[in-house]
Amino acid sequence: MRVEELFQLDGKVGLVTGGGAGLGRQFAEGLAELGADVAVCSRKLERCEETAAALARLGVRTLALRCDVRRPEEVASAVERVVSELGAIDVLVNDAGTSWGAPAEEMPLEGWQKVIDVNLTGLFLVSQAVARQMIGDGRGGAIVNLASVAALRGSPPGRMDAVSYSASKGGVIALTRDLAWKWAHHGIRVNAIAPGWFPTSMSQVLLDAHGEEFLAGIPLRRFGGADDLKGALALLASPAGAYITGQTIVVDGGMTA
pLDDT at 130 over 90: yes
pLDDT at 162 over 90: yes
Residue 105's pLDDT band, with cuts at 50, 70 and 90, is very high
What local confidence, expressed as pLDDT, does residue 4 receive? 93
Q: Report how far residue 120's alpha carbon sits from residue 140's, in angstroms, rounded to the nearest whole number.
A: 23
- For residue 254, the cross-strand partners are none
Q: If we measure between CA atoms, which residue out of 139, 113, 143 comes closest to residue 125?
A: 143
Q: What is the pLDDT of residues 181-199, one digit of tens each?
A: 999 999 999 999 999 999 8
What local confidence, expressed as pLDDT, does residue 205 receive? 86
pLDDT exceeding 70 applies to what percent of the chain?
100
Residue 253's pLDDT band, with cuts at 50, 70 and 90, is very high
- Give the amino acid at 183: W
Residue 160's pLDDT band, with cuts at 50, 70 and 90, is confident
pLDDT at 203 over 90: no
- When mean pLDDT is compared across 12-26, 33-47, 173-187, 198-212, the lowest value belongs to 198-212
pLDDT at 211 over 90: no
- Give the amino acid at 73: E
pLDDT at 1 over 90: no
Higher pLDDT: 158 or 42? It is 42
Average per-residue pLDDT for the chain: 96
Q: What is the Rg, in whole angstroms, of the alpha carbon atoms belonging to the chain?
A: 17
Burial 150-176 (b: 16+ CB within 10 A, else e): bbbeeeeeeebbbbbbbbbbbbbbebb
Residues whose CB falls within 8 Å of the CB of residue 55, separated by 6 or more in sequence, listed in order = 28, 29, 32, 38, 40, 62
Q: Report how far residue 255's alpha carbon sits from residue 189's, in angstroms, rounded to the nearest whole number.
A: 27
Among the four given CATH numbers 3.40.250.10, 3.40.50.300, 3.40.50.720, 2.60.120.10, the one describing domain 3-251: 3.40.50.720
Tell me how far CA of residue 200 lies from CA of 44, 140, 204, in angstroms: 16, 32, 6
206 within 8 A of 198, measured Cβ to Cβ: no
- When mean pLDDT is compared across 5-14, 54-63, 143-152, 205-214, the lowest value belongs to 205-214
Residue 200's pLDDT band, with cuts at 50, 70 and 90, is confident
Q: Report how far residue 83's alpha carbon sits from residue 130's, in angstroms, rounded to the nearest whole number.
A: 10
95 within 8 A of 146, measured Cβ to Cβ: yes
236: part of which helix (H) or strand (E)? helix 230-237
What local confidence, expressed as pLDDT, does residue 218 receive? 95
* Catalytic residue numbers, as ranges: 165
Q: If we measure between CA atoms, which residue out of 34, 18, 25 comes closest to residue 237?
A: 34
Residue 206's pLDDT band, with cuts at 50, 70 and 90, is confident
Write the burial class of residue 32 (CB in 10 Å: 0-12 exposed, 13-18 middle, 19+ buried). Answer: buried
pTM of the model: 0.96
What local confidence, expressed as pLDDT, does residue 13 receive? 98
pLDDT at 210 over 90: no
pLDDT at 208 over 90: no
Q: What is the pLDDT of residues 226-244, one digit of tens each?
A: 999 999 999 999 999 999 9
